[in-house]
Amino acid sequence: MPAVVNDVRGVLLDIEGTTTPMDFVHTTLFNYAKENVGHFLKEYALRKDILKIVDDLSKMYLSDASVSSDCPGWDGSSTDKKLESAARYCIWLIDRDSKASALKELEGYIWREGYSSGDLRGSVYEDVPGALKKWKDSGKKIYIFSSGSVLSQKLLFGTTEYGDMTRYIEGYFDTSVGKKADRRSYETISDASGIPAHNFLFLSDAPAEINAAVSARFSGILVSRETGSSNAGYSKNTISNFTEIILP
C-alpha cells in the first residue's frame, strides 16, 4: 500500500531489516567479527583505544559472569591470556546480540579491516539506492539510526554493490544518543539535526522503535520486508519496500 507523508524534511532510517537484509548483519557481519576478533586483538593490543576496549570488556565480564553460568572463563594471568579471554567473551556477547558499546566499537574496527581489504561489502535492498537518491534530489535530508557504530554504518553504505551511498546521507546516529525504543533518542536526533520532530519520518522494521519515534512526534512507517518479521499486531502505516513511500 502506498504511504503518503506530507511536510517531510528529514528521513531517519533503521538499517537491519529496513535498508539491509537481517542476514547481512546477523550472519555475514557477526561471523566476520567472531572469526577475526582473536587475531585483531593480538595484532592491535598496544593501541590505546584497543587497550581501553579490553579494559571495558573485562569490567563488563565481571557483571555478566556473576549472573550468567554459561559465560566463558577469563584468564588474566598474562597479556596473551587476557586477550584470548576478551576474544572468547566477545564471541559470547555477539551470540547474544549484545549492543554493548565496547563490543560495537571493536566490531566497527574489525569490519573496517574487512571492508578495506574487500572481504566485506555493504548490502542494501535493491529499492533503497533509488529511493535515497530521489529523496535527496527533492531536498530531504537523510539520516541513519542504528545500533551498529557510526563507523560501521559509514562503511556499510560506503561499499555497497550500488556504489558509495554515503553521498545521499546527511548524518549518522548510533546508540550513544540512546536506545532505539526510547522516545528521548528521537528528540535528541531532532535537536542534533535541526529538523523539527513533526518534519521527520522514521522507517524501521521494529514496532517498538516506531512507537518511540511517534511518541516524540515523528511520523513513522513500519517496513515489513521479510515474512516472519516481528510486526504482529501492528496495523498502522506499513510498507513492504521504499517505492511505496510518497513524500510530496
What is the 3-class SS of 43-106, one letter each residue? Answer: HCCCCHHHHHHHHHHHHHHHHHHHHCCCCCCCCCCCHHHHHHHHHHHHHHHHHCCCCCHHHHHH
x/- letters, 64..103, toward Mg ion (CB under 5 A): ----------------------------------------
Pairing between strand 238-239 and 219-223? Answer: parallel
**Beta-bridge partner residues of 145:** 173
Give me the least distance between CB of 17 and Mg ion, in Å please.
4
Residue located via cell numbers 566463558: 72
Cite the beta strand spans of the chain per DSSP E: 3-4, 10-13, 141-145, 169-173, 200-204, 219-223, 238-239, 245-246
Considering CB under 5 A, how many residues would be counted as binding Mg ion?
4
Considering beta carbons, is residue 36 or 146 the nearer one to Mg ion? 146
Give me the least distance between CB of 37 and Mg ion, in Å please.
24
x/- letters, 15..44, toward Mg ion (CB under 5 A): -xx---------------------------
Task: Report the residue from 10, 12, 14, 168 that binds Mg ion according to the rule CB under 5 A.
Answer: 14
Considering beta carbons, is residue 107 or 205 the nearer one to Mg ion? 205
Give me the least distance between CB of 211 and Mg ion, in Å please.
14
Give me the least distance between CB of 137 and Mg ion, in Å please.
26
Considering beta carbons, is residue 17 or 122 the nearer one to Mg ion? 17
User: Site residues for Mg ion, window 146-165 (CB under 5 A)?
Assistant: none
What separation in angstroms does the CA of 92 have from each of 63, 68, 202? Answer: 14, 11, 32
Give me the least distance between CB of 65 and Mg ion, in Å please.
30
187 binds Mg ion, rule: CB under 5 A: no
Give me the least distance between CB of 24 and Mg ion, in Å please.
12
Rounded distance between C-alpha atoms, residue 167 and residue 149, angstroms:
18
Residue 161: partners with Cβ closer than 8 Å, 6 or more residues away: 121, 123
> Within 10 A of 59 (CB to CB), how many other CB atoms are there?
10
Helix (H, G, I), strand (E, B) or coil at 17: coil
Give me the least distance between CB of 103 and Mg ion, in Å please.
18
Single-letter amino acid, residue 12: L
Residue 198: partners with Cβ closer than 8 Å, 6 or more residues away: 7, 217, 218, 219
Name the segment binding Mg ion (CB under 5 A); options: 34-42, 55-63, 105-113, 205-213.
205-213
Considering beta carbons, is residue 16 or 64 the nearer one to Mg ion? 16
Task: Report the residue from 61, 104, 205, 219 that binds Mg ion according to the rule CB under 5 A.
Answer: 205
Considering beta carbons, is residue 50 or 132 the nearer one to Mg ion? 132
Residues lying near Mg ion in the complex (CB under 5 A) are found at 14, 16-17, 205
